[in-house]
Amino acid sequence: MSKKSLPTTQKQSKARLGDQIRSIADRLKQETDVQITATSRILGAAAQIAENHDQLINEVVDMVESDIDVEKQVSQKHIYTVDLLKQQFKTLRDAKAHFNLKVTSWESLANKLNAASFQTTTIQNKPQSNQGLADTNTIKGEYNFNNLEKLTVFLEPDVAELFPNSEAVNEALRFLIRVTSKNY
């Protein structure tokens, strides 16, 4: 049997059809390469965002821990010095406004703050019925915090300025508890 030869026009149309298919395949490959590159860039950006987020969280935790350490040192020492106050505030006017005190010098400000710091913080148990505060646990200083209905704490003026009511204090303390419990 002899092969029938295709007319020339059919051969040319098949060749054009093959070229068109190759052209479409090449464009699809290029688009796939572009999509792969874009996806790779997106994943790289997402990884960078995650890394930056973790770094930011760590920085915030470090700042909070640093602030807590400074606050512990200040509350443990209960001593304000002129140098410490000058480092914390630009002017005596700023310091007086912050502590809401009337003084004429850095020394008198430090003295007033130290005098206020040495006053003991009072914690009181709310009386239940006729029990009163003369309860033996209160006298010994042994508090069962599960039985406390309310706890009264006196804030220093600079702290009270930032926390206008007990809800604000409780919210801040709960946040602090959450932050510190996640880190330990």
Quick check: is 109 in a domain? Answer: yes
User: What torsion do the CA atoms of 146, 148, 152, 153 make, to the nearest 10 degrees?
Assistant: -20
Quick check: is 139 in a domain? Answer: no
Quick check: is 126 in a domain? Answer: no
**Per-residue burial over 7-31, b = 16 or more CB atoms within 10 Å of its CB, e = otherwise:** eeeeeeeeeeeeeeeeeeeeeeeee
Q: Is 88 found in the same domain as 47? A: no
Quick check: is 21 in a domain? Answer: yes
Q: What is the pLDDT of residues 101-150, one digit of tens each?
A: 888 999 988 888 877 665 533 333 333 433 343 343 343 444 455 555 66
Quick check: is 167 in a domain? Answer: no
The owner of tokens 């973790």 is: 54
Q: Which domain holds residue 47?
A: 17-74
Q: Is 57 found in the same domain as 84? A: no
Instruction: Specify the DSSP class assigned to residue 125.
Output: B
Question: What is the domain count for the chain?
Answer: 2
Q: What is the pLDDT of residues 54-85, one digit of tens each?
A: 888 888 888 888 888 777 665 555 678 888 88
The residue out of 119, 149, 177 marking a domain boundary is 119
Q: Is 68 found in the same domain as 95? A: no
Quick check: is 48 in a domain? Answer: yes
Count CB atoms within 10 A of the CB of residue 62: 10
Q: Is 99 found in the same domain as 65? A: no
The rounded mean pLDDT for the chain is 75
What per-residue confidence (pLDDT) applies to 184? 57
Q: Is 64 found in the same domain as 86? A: no
Q: What is the pLDDT of residues 155-175, one digit of tens each?
A: 888 888 888 788 888 888 888
